[in-house]
Amino acid sequence: MQLTMTARSMFCTCCWRAVYSPEEIEQRAHSQLIDKQLRRDRSRYRRQVKLLLLGAGESGKSTFLKQMRIIHGYHFSTEELDEFRLTIYRNIIQGMKVLCDARQKLNIPWQDPDCEKPAFNILASTPLVNVTDTASFRVLVPDVRRLWQDQAIRTTYNRRAEYQLIDSVAYFFDNLDRISMHDYRPVDSDVVHARRATKSITEFCMSINKVPFLFVDVG
């Protein structure tokens, strides 16, 4: 006569109680749970599709991964959003710094000569050091806003093919009022536009149509 799975489990448990101490029974039960999880993992990994994201720097690998997360409902954690918030602050200040420097090199005159002062403030700032929170960022916001309104900076931006500038600065400048609010929390479109160098290998797992995918961004 064959025993059912439940009967066999009860039979094994009774055998354990007759032979092993309570501590040993607990250890063996824990070991069985681990073995069961390992079998599940092996089955999952056999089905897993690994995608290696290759390309030069600034080619959009990280942006693609962020878009995949958003599309398939893998929301960013509070810690991740806090990191993106600082990244966006730095993108804005560094982007305006690049524009001010390019304006000088392209010999484009200011529409308003009084823009020399805010331009000096931006060029003198060190984004990675000074912009560490909302308060330090908001100190520079009036300068960024004034410069973005000047035709000289707009003309410089329109000639961005002549120098290197991240492609998202106009988006951030146009949303400066919202981004500079004291309780600002990045929305999905902000996260997609945020730019930061990937210096290490980044992996992210997600399930798409019940198929497990492993995305690997090699930086």
- pLDDT per residue as tens, the chain (219 positions): 444 444 445 445 555 556 667 777 777 777 777 766 666 666 556 667 777 777 676 667 788 888 888 887 878 899 999 999 999 999 999 999 999 999 999 999 999 999 999 999 999 886 555 566 788 899 999 999 999 999 999 999 999 999 999 989 999 999 999 999 999 999 999 999 999 877 767 776 777 777 777 777 776
- Is residue 168 annotated as involved in ligand binding? yes
Residue 209: predicted pLDDT? 74
- Edge to edge, what strands does the sheet with 49-53 contain? 49-53, 211-217, 202-208
- Is residue 61 annotated as involved in ligand binding? yes
Start-to-end Cα distance in the chain: 60
Q: How many CB atoms lie within 10 A of CB 186?
A: 21
Residue 6: predicted pLDDT? 46
Handedness of CA 35, 36, 41, 43 (dihedral sign): positive
Residue 151: predicted pLDDT? 98
Domains of the chain, each with CATH number or no CATH: 77-196 (1.10.400.10)
DSSP structural state of residue 207: E
Residue 49: predicted pLDDT? 76
- Is residue 167 annotated as involved in ligand binding? yes
- Is residue 198 annotated as involved in ligand binding? yes
- Is residue 13 annotated as involved in ligand binding? no
Quick check: pTM over 0.75? Answer: no
The Cα 39–Cα 71 span in angstroms is: 30
- Is residue 203 annotated as involved in ligand binding? no
Alpha helices by DSSP H, 54-202: 61-71, 78-105, 116-124, 127-130, 134-149, 151-158, 169-174, 176-179, 188-193
Residue 18: predicted pLDDT? 60
72: left (phi over 0), alpha (psi -120 to 50) or beta: alpha
Are the CB atoms for 216 and 50 separated by under 8 Å?
Answer: yes
